[in-house]
Structure 1
Amino acid sequence: MTSPSGKPLLLPLFWAFLRIGLLGFGGGPSMIPLIQQEVVKRHGWMDEDAFGDVLAIANTLPGPIATKMPGFIGYRVAGVSGCVIAVVAVIVPMIVAMIAMLGVFSRYRDIAWIQGMSQGVIPVVMVMMIQLTMDFWNKSRLSLGWWVSLAMATVAGGVIYWLGVHPGWVIGGLLVTALLTPPRASRQEASR
């Protein structure tokens, strides 16, 4: 497949997801901001709304998000070969790094700088997750308003943390509710 300019997309797709696989410390959730950076901001393969939809649907499906999102995005960008390229580019660095790092950690786990290195990644991942949360909060606030966004976040947090409901069920319930709710008339249509 090629882009509208005639440039092949498989190589940029491979490099984008290879970077994500190499830099995605902390597992799938920490990769989400990296995926957003590459797919939305750097390459423009989808906009923020489409990315939010992909993230919501990926959270409702079983399996690791670190392979679901690259698989769908790769398919959307370059078809079946794009799906395969994106998933392979993301998982190969993880597999190689996991084998190498587990060997190093098991051999040198008592050395202070090894322990510090593994704990030093945590604040970086935390900042990335806060940035992603703020981006989604702003998007929600602009489309739904402050109060509705705050109410939905509070209810979802309560259901997930206090009742122990899996986040996929909460997201799935919201998606079903949105599909079954009739669309509201816009202000222009209501004034006619």
Structure 2
Amino acid sequence: MADDSSETQDLKARGLKLQGQLFMAFFRIGIFGFGGGPSMIPLVHQEVVKRHAWMEDEAFADVLAIGNTLPGPIATKMAGYIGYRVGGTLGAINAVIAVIVPLIVAMIGLLGLYARYGDQRWVHGMGLGVVPVVMVMMAQLTWDFFAKSRAGMGLVATLATGAAAAVLILVLGVHPGLVIGAILIAALLRPDPNPDRKRAQGEESAP
């Protein structure tokens, strides 16, 4: 009986610790995600993949791709899904609150600061000084995704897909969500290049 009680307390402690880690991870994302939107993606990657290892790069890329096909801010969508995956329903609520609250507080505070000191040069410099840092983080994440794509698809397919996406999004003005959705559908409809190998694997795993 005492062992059961001790085990229950241990599970609760680990659950609370995990929820605390989730909250702090997405709180940091909310605090340092200057500019919001895409600029927060490298921070999410740093916390979720590199710091806590809650998911692999491939899974993160899938979440990012699917999240971009849906309406709404990408940061809250990723926070909700990752929080749910790591900590269940409570984790989803926890992560979303953690990433939203800093944004609201910062917005109120910065707008008040700007209204009072908007004519000061240092106020304008606050936002401009962060831009190069965000640029470097986005470049690093882009390179990581390029390396993963090249390893999985090959260099030619990666460059061709990237070039086609660039033309559709930057030149023709197609919404990124539509481009990502079309690629996902094409991947689902593409015939399996190695059906015999999958059949053999299924036979080996069968009892």
Q: TM-score, normalised by structure 2?
A: 0.86
Deviation at 1:113, TM superposition (A): 1.2
Match of 2:205 in 1: none
1:30-81 per-position Cα deviation (integer Å, ceiling 9, x unaligned): 1111111111111111111110100001000000001000000001011111
1:16 partnered with 2:25: yes
Match of 2:46 in 1: 37
1:55 alignment partner AA? L
1:115-167 per-position Cα deviation (integer Å, ceiling 9, x unaligned): 11221111111111111111111111111111110000000000111111000
Structure 2 unmatched runs, 5+: 1-9, 199-207
Q: Structure 1 residue aligned with 2:55, among 41, 46, 68?
A: 46
Match of 1:67 in 2: 76
Matches of 1:28 and 1:159, distance apart in 2: 20
Match of 2:14 in 1: 7
Matches of 1:183 and 1:62, distance apart in 2: 31
Matches of 2:185 and 2:100, distance apart in 1: 31
Matches of 1:36 and 1:158, distance apart in 2: 26
2:45 alignment partner AA? Q
SS of the aligned residue for 1:77 comes to helix
Q: 1:187 to 1:132 in 2, by over 3 A?
A: farther
Match of 1:160 in 2: 169
1:135 partnered with 2:127: no
Deviation at 1:187, TM superposition (A): 9.3
1:89 alignment partner AA? A
Q: Structure 1 residue aligned with 2:36, among 2, 24, 27?
A: 27
Q: TM-score, normalised by structure 1?
A: 0.93
1:156 alignment partner AA? A
Q: Structure 1 residue aligned with 2:129, among 116, 120, 132?
A: 120
Deviation at 1:188, TM superposition (A): 6.2
1:74 alignment partner AA? G
Higher helix share: 2
Match of 1:84 in 2: 93
Q: 1:92-111 to 2 correspondence within 5 Å? A: 92-111=101-120
